[in-house]
Structure 1
């Protein structure tokens, strides 16, 4: 089967993105397919799993912090990661069912596992959480001012971000999370917003942090930072990998950059004889259901 046809023979969450990014389908066709995400397949299944109080799996981030019987480190079924997964699916934020689900989150869900217990869309927290949260806030149409200010204040001297306190050295994981959030904010912001120049400057500095390292390497030795960065992962949650970074730069710098070439060739080299990419790394922790990924064609095809 042709790879495009194989991808189209799948869930609406994949099909609408394939139609948009890899075919010449009209905007009306793409919109019609996207509208199915909230009503069929993975998107509908995940929406139906929301608790009456607005959470998913009765927790916000790591339920084990408040309930010792729950998984502590990687509860991917909790609210933060479920909302993020709906965004990854490309669910239409204006769909009435989606709007109702997100309003329940906005009105009722609090970060009970961290200090402050603030409402989900109003929390300011460490960069690897705050970056993903900013993307979710923007995508679902809530006020991003607090999250944005917190992120901009936490940028490190080297241009990136780090979740560790009292350090001037950045990390790949929080940096890609924040960059995605900043780019989402820029795309959604009013062109006259006075914050635009500040956000763009911060974003470019963050991009340079990754580009100087060719998305994979240490400045000090030139070696790979972590072999897992070279592996394809989905969903990535807050974790970094080269494909996630290339997905970001596909949107942020469509004109390209020569410092991306090694990463692109690495991803291209992972394709099998049928032009498909394996899922190499599945993050440990409970999940609602298993999924594959067709992202690589957008950056290496």
Structure 2
């Protein structure tokens, strides 16, 4: 990354800046941790924290705002689950939300059958977010963790439509489930059963090269190669590669060769100036925008794209004879 591009990346909100400092600039730990501590008091993080309701929720609802009638374009992104997930992704210290886990246990119920918040519900993606958020805030979400082991489909992944009878996994649902399982495992140590479920879900996506149907070999959908930030619930090659980077680093292994096609897609989307363009937005109500409009160079996407390619290229540059996998899942 050129000095000019890095300077541009660093001219941003603390929610992104600390990650750029840590993962791209190689800043000392005390530097990026100092920036990270500002997430609670400045910019995006402070703005989202200020919207929290006295009862611990955001917008008066668990997954949807209390006033949501289902008649607006897209999906609102303002309620509790999305707000928590965003703050966690931005690196907010859980101490800034002291007491929130208890408030949500007392006051928040899922729109689906009025189920208690930290017990989860039937949607894989929602449960994935809640599993990670609960582990982050110190709630007991062991029941949700076991839910994933119990509801994995025969082909290895998950599908939010399982409750409607679907028996084939979804790229979107599987990725969001994996993200929750990995965060929970890192935070708590997990279990052999949950690790096996996570690895099986990863294999589902790897067999399909993160891009293609297993039987047809055709692109699974245009969304797989369209990059948008925030990622929300949507699968993309970039979103998935960022997950596989984190999982490989946690497991002590290098990049799986089957990621190569998705890496090529990400690399091809990089512009000559080293940036990635915002390619759209998930429609729906937001508290405030956190990235540029479609068609402009996105610092967030440039961060994720650069980080993924640095990881991949760094492993590929390992000396001849080196086991770039770095370990075994044996």
TM superposition score normalised by structure 2: 0.83
CA RMSD in angstroms comes to: 1.9
4+ runs of 1 displaced by more than 6 Å? none
> Secondary structure of the equivalent of 2:155?
coil
| CA pair 69-159 structure 1, distance change in 2 beyond 3 A | closer
Alignment match, 2:218: 223
Task: Tell me, yes or no, if the aligned pair for 1:63 and 1:71 is still in contact at 8 Å.
Answer: no
- Give the counterpart of 1:140 among 137, 149, 163: 137
Alignment match, 1:298: 307
- Give the counterpart of 2:207 among 197, 208, 212: 212
Number of equivalences: 292
Alignment match, 1:155: 152
| CA pair 40-231 structure 1, distance change in 2 beyond 3 A | same
> 1:39 & 1:143 partners in 2: Cα distance?
28
- Give the counterpart of 1:237 among 229, 232, 241: 232
> Secondary structure of the equivalent of 1:6?
helix
Alignment match, 1:8: 10
Alignment match, 1:89: 90
Alignment match, 1:56: 58
CA-CA distance at 1:104 after TM superposition: 3.2
Alignment match, 2:296: none
Alignment match, 2:320: none
> Secondary structure of the equivalent of 2:269?
coil
> Secondary structure of the equivalent of 2:160?
coil
Task: Tell me, yes or no, if the aligned pair for 2:39 and 2:46 is still in contact at 8 Å.
Answer: yes
- Give the counterpart of 1:200 among 195, 199, 212: 195
Alignment match, 2:126: 129
Q: Could you give the per-residue CA deviations for residues 76-102 of structure 1, whole angstroms, max 9, x where no partner exists?
A: 1111111111112111112xx322445
5+ unaligned residues in a row in structure 2: which ranges?
Answer: 292-299, 311-330
| CA pair 2-102 structure 1, distance change in 2 beyond 3 A | farther
TM superposition score normalised by structure 1: 0.91
Task: Tell me, yes or no, if the aligned pair for 1:63 and 1:70 is still in contact at 8 Å.
Answer: no
> Secondary structure of the equivalent of 2:39?
coil
Task: Tell me, yes or no, if the aligned pair for 2:276 and 2:305 is still in contact at 8 Å.
Answer: yes
> Secondary structure of the equivalent of 1:2?
helix
CA-CA distance at 1:69 after TM superposition: 7.6
5+ unaligned residues in a row in structure 1: which ranges?
Answer: none
> 1:19 & 1:159 partners in 2: Cα distance?
36
